[in-house]
Amino acid sequence: MKKHVTSSHWGAGVAEVQDGRLVGVGAHPIDPHPSSINDNFVSSIYGSSRILRPAVRKGYLEHGPGQQTDRRGKEPFVEVSWETALDLAAAALKNTCEEHGNEAIFGGSYGWGSAGRFHHAQSQLKRFLGCAGGFVRSDGNYSYNAALILLPYLIGDFENLAPTGTRWSTIAKEGELVVMFGGMPLKNAQAAPGGCSRHRLRDELRACHCAGVKFVDFNPCKSDTPAEIEAEWLALVPGSDTAIMLALAHTLLVENLHDQAFLDRYTVGFDEVKAYLVGDKDGIAKTAEWASKLSDIPADRIRTLARQMAASRTFICTAAGVQRGEHGEQPLWGTITLASMLGQIGLPGSGFGIAYGSDGGIGLMNRPIRWPALPQGKNRVEPFIPVACISDMLLHPGEAYQYNGLDLTYPDIRMIWWAGGNPFHHHQDINRLIQAFQKPETVIVNELNWTATARFADIVFPVTSTLEREDIGGGKRDNCLIPMPKIIAPVGEARDEYDIFTALARRLGIEEEFTQNKTSRQWLEEMWGDVSHQAAELGVELPAFDGFLNGDIIEFADPNPDTVLFSDFRKDPEKNRLTTPSGKIELYSETIASFGYSDCPGQATWLPPTEWLKSDRAALYPIHMISGQPKTRLHSQLDQGAYSQRNKIQGREPIMIHPNDAMKRNIVDGDVVTVFNDRGSCLAGAIVTSDIREQTVYLCTGAWYDPLDSEQQGSLDKHGNPNMLTHDKRTSRLSQGTAAHSTLVNIEKYEGELPAITAYVAPVNAG
């Protein structure tokens, strides 16, 4: 048995190989709480859904681009030689550029892809398409796009702020109270962009609890927060977070508990906020009673909590999931407003955090230097779309829309190339996405397994997994470099994406521009040389590249163990101005107000969702569905794996339902249920539990789309994909973020013989 250190987005591991075959990926000794997602590797790499050879959709192979596109997702694939697949893809790319221009090519590639720094699918694809003349790209992400767009106006760029977020260790030392909106889910913190060497969050939270820090959790789902910190659970109506924040702020104001000196020195716009809180703008005072009617949280508890927050060293945490609802910008703005009124921003153990618990890095660790990466080069095409606007773009080319103060037009896309992602997991309203995917003339997908996205392609390239190639592991917010040697030979005819794009570049006459006359190994050695030089400046001597690949994790000292967000700004706001227009925290943004967006005014505002339990629609669909990250995989990656499969219920994705809702519908634990609304339906396996709020269900994302009848429009999904039910509306015109968490459904017990799961059966070898 041979053992090799390796890395994935869900942590470092030790791969075990016998007779050239992977037999398992175990925990690395450095990790105190390793993720069981590693158990998915073996059965996914060798499973029935693995793409073994290049494949072309039957109709595309017979009739060419732009023909029978409505057969995508319905007809089988024909396995072909690499030469045939590469020739078809190169011809499609060349013809699209010549006939429609590079503005007709969309480089999808949204997703986590590989944890490696070189074999990163998104970087590889973007470099290749850039060398080919450019492509339409997506902007932002599904996870926290409202934060990415909104926060620069209020406090500064989120991606620059995340590494400087207040550490949990300082909260344990100095904090007294943590108020959470959306919990602190350990399952989300299993993964981190690029990987993580240690899973730290559980121990950091325990340290806070042992130090006497109290936790309060506004959350429809109790189990989103670890039981050992004994958080007070306040099960609010989903989508009412902003109302509670405003009511807390109102109590601070009318009881004179706010810090006016802080507001005067460090913020702008509080007079506008004050006028809104007391009702001068709309005639509605944002009292605790007002918020109680919207949230079902007792008014007295809201008032007493505001007093507790003012009397304590308080840290406010708002999860990324909270902003993935209609008007998702508002709870972020409410968080900053509330924290500013408390006046504790920049002090150890207090202030606020956005998206804590969304991955295994924020508030826990940061990298000491910038890890190496493959240069993506220049994209010569200017048009782009917000990432959640894919269906709109494909269905409405030429249509005008607004985004972040810009007036834009959707491009006319004739070709999609997707690598390192699965939009049939990430995107909302799958039935609408299916219609959208029928529009392009050619769809090319690079994939490891037969995901739904691969099934809706025309040309599919089989790619290697992280264990079938060598790379450098280094998390975006981690302090370790992790070797990723080639552990097993590629399964079937899978190839590295770099080799695929090199072969295509050769056909298009751009090979030298793409490769710079370097092999994969030469790129890696050059990247290793760059990081070695940076490490030497820190006094760390790194081994030669071969020594690194055959060695163990290299750990750097924690660069900022006592980080407190905005501590320098608090010390001297003139010398350490923020990057906002005013240089201060903007509680009212003149810039955003000037956009004139009714769905995102110039300050934190209560804007009721159109789809929530207090809306008229709840009469038809009386259950609010939350669709969060699963514990058994990262998004939809490796869903066929053993760990993911062990946690299914009769082969379906589990759905949490409150005992009272289950009893009304004659549902018991372990039943298969139908979840439905007017957008679609799916099956799921019931978990009856008091950990979920009444009139609320929790169905995790990532179960591979598996229609009962692919020929039937709007067919039942047999497997439990919540995006059969989510709408494709956005948070607002400001950020155009996904609003998936504003979804109403109904649920009933499934009667009859259960249909077989076919999501993992390869659709290949048509006659």
* CATH 3.40.228.10 domain position(s) in the chain: 153-367+565-595
Contacts of 531 (CB under 8 A, 6+ apart): 369, 371, 372, 472, 474, 481, 542
Name the active-site residue from 110, 450, 621, 698.
110
pLDDT (0 to 100) of residue 767: 46
Contacts of residue 68, Cβ cutoff 8 Å, sequence gap at least 6: 59, 60, 75
Quote the percentage of the chain above a pLDDT of 70: 100
- Nearest Cα neighbor of 501 from 217, 128, 228, 191 is 128
Q: Decide: residue 100, CB within 10 A, 0-12 exposed, 13-18 middle, 19+ buried.
A: middle
- Which contiguous run of DSSP H or E holds residue 514? helix 511-515
Query: Which segments of the chain belong to CATH 3.40.50.740?
Result: 50-141+372-482+491-555
The rounded Cα 645 to chain-centroid distance in angstroms is: 22
Active site residue 418: no
Of 10, 60, 82, 112, the catalytic one is: 112
Query: Using one digit for the tens of pLDDT, what is the confidence trace for 624-638?
Result: 999 999 999 999 999
Give tens-digit pLDDT for 114-148. Answer: 889 999 999 999 999 999 999 999 999 999 999 99
Residue 684 pLDDT class (50, 70, 90 cuts): very high
Instruction: Please give the single-letter amino acid code of residue 264.
Output: D
Is residue 403 within 8 Å of residue 736, measured between CB atoms? Answer: yes
Q: Which residues contact 554 (CB under 8 A, 6 or more apart)?
A: 480, 481, 482, 540, 542, 548
Q: Where in the chain is the domain with CATH 2.40.40.20?
A: 616-749
List, in sequence order, every residue forming a beta bridge with 268; answer none if it has no partner: 586
> Which SS3 state, helix, strand or coil, does residue 481 take?
strand
Q: Which helix (H) or strand (E) holds 251?
A: helix 241-254
DSSP string, 675-703: EEETTEEEEEEEEE-TTB-TTEEEE-S-P
pLDDT of 523 strictly over 70: yes
State CA 229 to chain mean position distance.
26
CA distances from 639 to 42, 76, 155, 659, 704 (A): 12, 21, 38, 28, 7
Average predicted confidence (pLDDT) for the chain? 96
pLDDT tens string 228-242 = 999 999 999 999 999
> What does the alpha-carbon distance between residue 54 and residue 135 come to, in Å, rounded to a whole number?
24
Top CATH class, 153-367+565-595? alpha beta
Q: Is the pLDDT of residue 330 over 90?
A: yes
HSE on the CB side for 701, CA within 13 Å? 26
Structural fold of domain 616-749: Barwin-like endoglucanases (2.40.40)
Q: What torsion, rounded to 10 degrees, do the Cα atoms 647, 649, 653, 659 define?
A: -110
- pLDDT tens digit sequence for 278-325: 999 999 999 999 999 999 999 999 999 999 999 999 999 999 999 999
pLDDT in tens, 161-219: 888 899 999 999 999 999 999 999 999 999 999 999 999 999 999 999 999 999 999 99
In sequence order, what E strands does 513-653 have?
554-555, 585-586, 623-626
Closest by CA position to 40, among listed 657, 641, 537:
641
CATH class of 50-141+372-482+491-555: alpha beta
* pLDDT recorded at residue 651: 98
For residue 766, pLDDT beyond 70 = no
Is residue 134 left, alpha or beta, with left meaning phi > 0 and alpha meaning psi from -120 to 50?
left
Which stretches does DSSP call E strand in 424-484?
442-447, 459-462, 471-474, 480-484
Q: What is the pLDDT of residues 569-580, one digit of tens each?
A: 999 999 999 999
Residue-wise pLDDT for 410-446, tens only, equals 999 999 999 988 999 999 999 999 999 999 999 999 9
| pLDDT tens sequence across 36-90 | 999 999 999 999 999 999 999 999 999 999 999 999 999 999 999 999 999 999 9
Active site includes 112? yes
**Does the reported pTM lie above 0.85?**
yes
The average pLDDT across 347-364 equals 94
List beta partners, residue 178: 215, 315
Rounded to 10°, the helix 299-311/288-295 angle is: 120
Element (H, E) at 24: strand 21-27
CB of 357 closer than 8 Å to CB of 199: no
Rounded to an integer, the average pLDDT of 594-614 is 98
| Positive or negative torsion for Cα 540, 541, 543, 544 | positive
Instruction: Over range 736-755, report the average pLDDT.
Output: 97
Per mean pLDDT, which of 162-166, 367-371, 650-654 is the most reliable?
650-654
